[in-house]
Amino acid sequence: MSQLISGTIHSEDKSLQWDLYSQIASDTEVHLRDNKIESIRSPILSQGYAIRIIRDRGKGPDGDPISGVGIAPGNFLQDENDIGQTLKFALEASKITSAPSYQLPSEKKALPAVRISDTGIASDHYAAAKDLAEKVIALLDKETDIRATFCKIRLTNIATSLENCFGLSLQKGETYAYFEAGLSPKSKGAGLAEYWPHNIARRIEDLELEKNIPKWASFARDSAKARTPDTGKYAVIFPPYVLSETAPPVVSFHAAASSLKKGMARWRNKGEKVWSDKVTIRDNGLLDYGIATSPFDDEGTPQQITGIIRKGEFQNYITNNMYARFVSSQSTGNGLKTSKFHGVPCYQDDIDLNRTNLVMEGGDSSMEEMIKETKRGLLIEQFSWMRPDAITGSFGSEIRHAYLIENGKVGNAIKGGVLNGSFFDTQGSDETQEKGAFNSLDLISKETYFGWASVLPYIRFPEIRISGR
């Protein structure tokens, strides 16, 4: 396939760069309903590739050199006609698009040794999925007052190959385990109470279902008697899995060299103070079994560990090959397909500049101490849909499940009401300056937890506005 692409491109223009990203995926999906297996689909096979062409297009209006980038996906790896049509589309697209000028990786560097595969999934994902389904049923059966209105288990094995015009040829095999469920009390008086968790990991064991299913079942029970919070300001505790939905998009946006180039990054100088001294964050592309861990990124650059913030000071930008020259001499290995964290084939996606696994250092408190030191607050367990604005740093969402903390004790379940805040300082309606969440945070747990492409602690924010009843 690469020979066909190379020959066709050289016949048009030998100066063109190209790369070929291909994937073959196989998975098993099990659906449960009412604690019984409803369906098993296996093997679910999918394959595809994307051809990318980079063309020198001279200089832009500002005098900066630009490239035309054309990317086109296809599905039939052995079909020369399909490949030819895909290549034609990529070539045409490269003539009309504009991007910063750059070159694909040409140096064959030693790749880091990282673990990204569960041996059980890789060897027989059908057997592993069936065993996991039986374990889940046994765990759910112990929760006699809870029913699983729906449950999905998906185990995926993906083989990826990347080749380019400079002779780079890389391969990797990776696995994913995905779980989601709708858990409801069986009692007729519970109404529409439900708790719907979901999780993804490289390995089955990292789903931690033995610990999580009983916890999620208790959330479902408590949801039946949850009430809407009163409007006001509360101390708020974010667990790691809640923080993982909130902080990473903001951090990765302002630490990206692409945001700096476009004039949108708040962090413009290395060493400048951006957040509280308590905040230290790294981008770790080498974290064993991390969702975004890989020996190489989707351009072929070895992934690495990049310090972003140290004790509140901005340290380094993350870069890919397109934007590296604006801040440093080389990519940090952050050229990633846009759906990288979803555990599904991503060959057809464009390559963007994005984080790998975000790691935040722990602090001095335990989670229990954080609760004991809270007079009036909320322990948030789930938002309905947390989509922070990466540019402004603002965030807001309906509270799906939480607990009221009064005088150091966890009390009534909370559901409803809207939480609003920002990671950056803002000016209030009365022209007073309000500290951003990562400037005002006062407690960080010693414990950090692994999940959702991050390793994060519990964090307490002393005052966040809640709009309730």
Closest CA to 107 of 336, 284, 353, 331: 331
Measured between alpha carbons, how far is 82 from 74 in angstroms, rounded to an integer? 7
* pLDDT at residue 429 is higher than 70: no
Delimit the domains of the chain by residue range: 2-223, 226-469
> pLDDT at position 451, please?
79
Q: Do residues 61 and 76 lie in contact, with contact meaning Cβ atoms separated by under 8 Å?
A: no
> pLDDT at position 89, please?
94
Q: In this predicted model, what pLDDT tens digit does every residue of 189-203 receive, in sequence order?
A: 656 678 999 999 999
Closest CA to 176 of 24, 293, 43, 291: 291
* pLDDT at residue 338 is higher than 90: no
Measured between alpha carbons, how far is 396 from 383 in angstroms, rounded to an integer? 9
> pLDDT at position 12, please?
76
- 38, two tokens: 């409803």
* pLDDT at residue 449 is higher than 80: yes
Q: In this predicted model, what pLDDT tens digit does every residue of 58-90 receive, in sequence order?
A: 998 888 899 999 999 998 877 888 888 999 999
How is domain 2-223 classified at the architecture level of CATH?
A: 2-Layer Sandwich (3.30)
* pLDDT at residue 37 is higher than 90: yes
> pLDDT at position 9, please?
79
> pLDDT at position 189, please?
65
Give me the mean pLDDT over the 434-449 stretch: 93
- Sequence-distant (6+) residues with CB within 8 A of 321 are 102, 103, 104, 105, 299, 301, 331, 335
> pLDDT at position 426, please?
85
Measured between alpha carbons, how far is 72 from 91 in angstroms, rounded to an integer? 9
Amino acid in the structure at residue 454: S
Give me the mean pLDDT over the 207-223 stretch: 95
Measured between alpha carbons, how far is 6 from 18 in angstroms, rounded to an integer? 8
Q: Dihedral of CA 123/124/127/129: which sign?
A: positive
pTM of the entire structure?
0.93
